[in-house]
Amino acid sequence: MPIEFQQDRPIYQQLMDRLSNEIVRGDRMPGDKLPSVREYAVDTGVNPNTVSRVYRELEQLTIVESRRGQGTFVTEDRMRLNQLREELKERQIDRFITEMKQLGFSKEEMILGLQAKTKEEGN
């Protein structure tokens, strides 16, 4: 099923984020085989060249690895996957803080808001 992409960011970056999020959430486990380039291109509704770029970029970041004749797989390096999880967490926190500051909220208001929200969700 094709994905609706944001207009303000390159599609390949959005697909990289999507796959990284799936890996961090555990939807794709260490050692799991990713769909072929053509299959993922059809699934997402993008050009196969875009998917090739996504896989290459993720391989350079050591999040996935290519195995000649077998395909592309999620890395089994759990330290790297933990590092990816921390990187994504930091990116989300930075984005949150930036947006809240732009709205005029103080650090204290952010903390109180987070505490109240997590308490109401039971976390």
State pLDDT tens for residues 82-120: 999 999 999 999 999 999 999 999 999 999 999 999 988
Q: Give yes or no: residues 39 and 93 share one domain.
A: no
First-residue to last-residue Cα distance in the chain: 33
Residues 65 and 86 in one domain: no
Residue 2 lies in a domain: no
Query: By residue range, what is the domain housing residue 96?
Result: 79-120
Does the residue 46 lie in any domain?
Answer: yes
Within this chain, do residues 52 and 68 fall inside the same structural domain, yes or no? yes
Judge contact between 64 and 55, C-beta under 8 A.
yes
Given this model, what pLDDT does residue 2 score?
72
Both 68 and 97 in one domain: the answer is: no
- Do 29 and 64 contact (CB within 8 A), yes or no? no
Based on the structure, what is the number of domains in the chain?
2
The domain that contains 21 carries what CATH number?
1.10.10.10
